[in-house]
Structure 1
Amino acid sequence: MTGCIVLYKNNEKVLKESIDSFLSSTKVERLYLIDNSPTDLLRSISIDSRVEYIHNPSNPGFGAAHNIAINAALKSGGDYHVVLNPDVYFEGEIIYELMNYMESSPVVGNVMPKVLYPDNSIQYLCKLLPTPYDWIGRRFNPFKKMVEKRNKTFELRFSNYNKEMEVPYLSGCFMFLRLSAIEKVGGFDEGIFMYGEETDLCRRLIDGGYKTIFYPKVLIYHHFEKGSHKSWRLTKIGVKSAIYYFNKWGWFFDKRRKEINRDTLTKLGM
């Protein structure tokens, strides 16, 4: 079992909490810290022998940095790899529980637990495959009631997030990946600098014959800063990523997206 956190000028206290959460599991053999920061000030953030720190100041992006660790994990011959955000924390025992779940469900390529804010309120991180409105229009729509109505379906809020679900778009804050599946479909698309790379990967896993599952029997906490909503620079990065994604998969005419989303809603009884 390996994992990776991509760093960029992180708050050390929050980052340390995430690192310690993952390392608290005895199942963990290696944690890669891929640091895209201009300097290596975070090099000594952990002295655990299982941590491998790699400074990558060229900052190729979130997915590209994670691919460095994924490629190393594939060479190590492990079965599972966890993609972690630097602002998540949890009890180490969930790693064991998710590993058991994957062992009993060989068709699952990616599983995400229930994700809560630190105040215990739920984060709606299960989504349908996005349309251009979902990723671009919804962000700038001033009519809140229209946005809320779409969120009920797009973010699967009607499901109440209280049962196991097949979900085509799971958050990248915590991805428990089957390495044999990643070997088959490939890692993150490095054409996406940041935002949406997990959507692309989930979609390729589905097309590769794997399931992407929301598993609410275990939970994690996520500070979830929503950086793209607070920074114009990050908003531009998000829009650029969306354009890349839709150029790749299709904008308004995407037959496969319709099929996957329809099947998802049908299975959930909507």
Structure 2
Amino acid sequence: MYDFTACIVTYNTKQEELKKIICCFQKIELRFKLWISDNSEKDELRKFVEEFLDDRIEYIFNNSNGGFGAGHNVVIKRLGSEDTKSEFHLMVNADVFFEENTIEKIVEYMRENKNIGQIGPKIYGTDGKVTKSCRLLPSPVNLIFRRFLPLKSVVKKLDYDYEMKWYDYKEIIDVPILSGCFIFVRTDVLKEIGGFDKRYFMYMEDYDLCRRVGKKYRTVFYPEAEIIHEHGKASYKSRKMMLLHVNSAIKYFNKWGWFFDKERKEKNRECMKKYKK
């Protein structure tokens, strides 16, 4: 049995970027299995991955781009068989890297706290600044309407609570939504909730999964473990990505509720009452 399994979904990912995160995994002392789930049109990464000559790493060519969640679900379906059993599963972006002992810290803390279903580390950008990665459960105003509001002061006010800008990212807290660039969950919990919802092609699948985990288990921000995320907020840099984000947000609210979402109100109120100073 593995201590943890992991998956990186790629789509026309640069080899240098992928090499950096694979090297991070190769320094891990725990027993693990890593899959590279490739959504690209051509399996050009196969030869590159095989050059690492590491039986802990396996390449999967999906021969189509079904989206971020679909790429991970290919691997999630494999989990639980005799040769893929693991205590935990990590779904991580290719543009993330971390220092030695990062995963070990997370595994140790998860083992000490059996009621945690999903955990998230402190995230830094390449500029050295802490990324405000924790979120409350979003409303349509937070994700859709804010993009079309001309007044920056109004947008800033809307973001303050939703993006938890009042939190200093120093203490361990329970949080409604964790960043999707590094999703670390108990494997049995992931299998229980059924992996990613396939209605999302890109964006919001991580919010949806985190919310489903949080219905039964704790979702915890753990700043004792740190990672670096090189990219971010692509939907703000591309019209195409922005439209994909809006489309997924519409699917999210169709599923969970637009303006009448009792669970959202209760979860957000509980989080702010407990941690907002």
Shared fold (TM-score greater than 0.5)?
yes
Structure 2: which 5+ runs fail to align? Answer: none
8 Å CA contact retained: 2:17, 2:94: yes
Shift of 1:28: 4.2
Equivalent residue, structure 2, for 1:141: 149
Q: How many residues align?
A: 269
Task: State the Cα distance separating 1:175 from its structure 2 match.
Answer: 1.0
Residue 78 of structure 2 aligns to a residue whose secondary structure is: helix
Q: Which residue of 2 aligns with 1:194?
A: 202
Letter in 2 for 1:78: S
1:223 aligns with 2:223: no
Q: 1:95 to 1:254 in 2, by over 3 A?
A: same
Q: CA RMSD in A?
A: 1.3
Structure 1 runs (4+) greater than 6 angstroms displaced: none
The CA distance in 2 between the partners of 1:112 and 1:243, in whole Å, is: 25
Are the aligned partners of 2:76 and 2:191 in contact in 1 as well (CA < 8 Å)?
no
Aligned residue number for residue 64 of structure 2: 58
Aligned counterpart in structure 2 of residue 68 of structure 1, from 63, 68, 74:
74
- Displacement, 1:141? 2.9
SS at match of 1:262: helix
| Alignment equivalent of 2:6, drawn from 3, 7, 11 | 3
In 2, Cα distance between equivalents of 1:58 and 1:91: 33
1:37 matches 2:44:
no
1:237 maps to what in 2? 244
Aligned partners of 1:22 and 1:28 also within 8 Å: no
The code of the aligned residue for 1:19 comes to I
Report whether the alignment pairs 1:257 with 2:264.
Answer: yes
| Cα deviation digits, residues 143-162 of structure 1 (max 9, x gap) | 22222222221111111111
Indicate conservation of the 8 Å contact 2:30/2:104, yes or no. Answer: yes
Q: What TM-score results when the alignment is normalised by the length of structure 1?
A: 0.95
Note if contact 2:87-2:187 (Cα within 8 Å) is conserved in structure 1.
yes
Matches within 5 A, 1:71-220: 71-75=77-81, 76-207=84-215, 209-220=216-227
Q: Distance in 1 between matches of 2:276 and 2:237?
A: 36
Q: Could you tell me the percent identity over the aligned residues?
A: 42
Listed as ranges, the gaps of 5+ residues in structure 1 are none
SS in 1 for 2:144: helix
**d(CA) in 2 for partners of 1:12, 1:229:** 25
Separation in 1, partners of 2:100, 2:145: 39
In structure 2, C-alpha distance between the alignment counterparts of 1:28 and 1:173, rounded to whole Å: 22
SS at match of 2:7: strand
- Does structure 2 conserve the Cα–Cα contact (< 8 Å) formed by 1:170 and 1:202? yes
For 1:255 and 1:181, the matched residues in 2 are separated by 24
Q: Which of 12, 23, 26 in structure 2 is aligned with 1:20?
A: 23
**1:90 touches 1:220 (CA, 8 Å); kept in 2?**
yes
Counterparts of 1:92 and 1:57, CA distance in 2: 33
Q: In structure 2, what residue type is equivalent to 1:49?
A: D
Report if the CA contact (8 A) 2:166-2:276 is conserved.
no
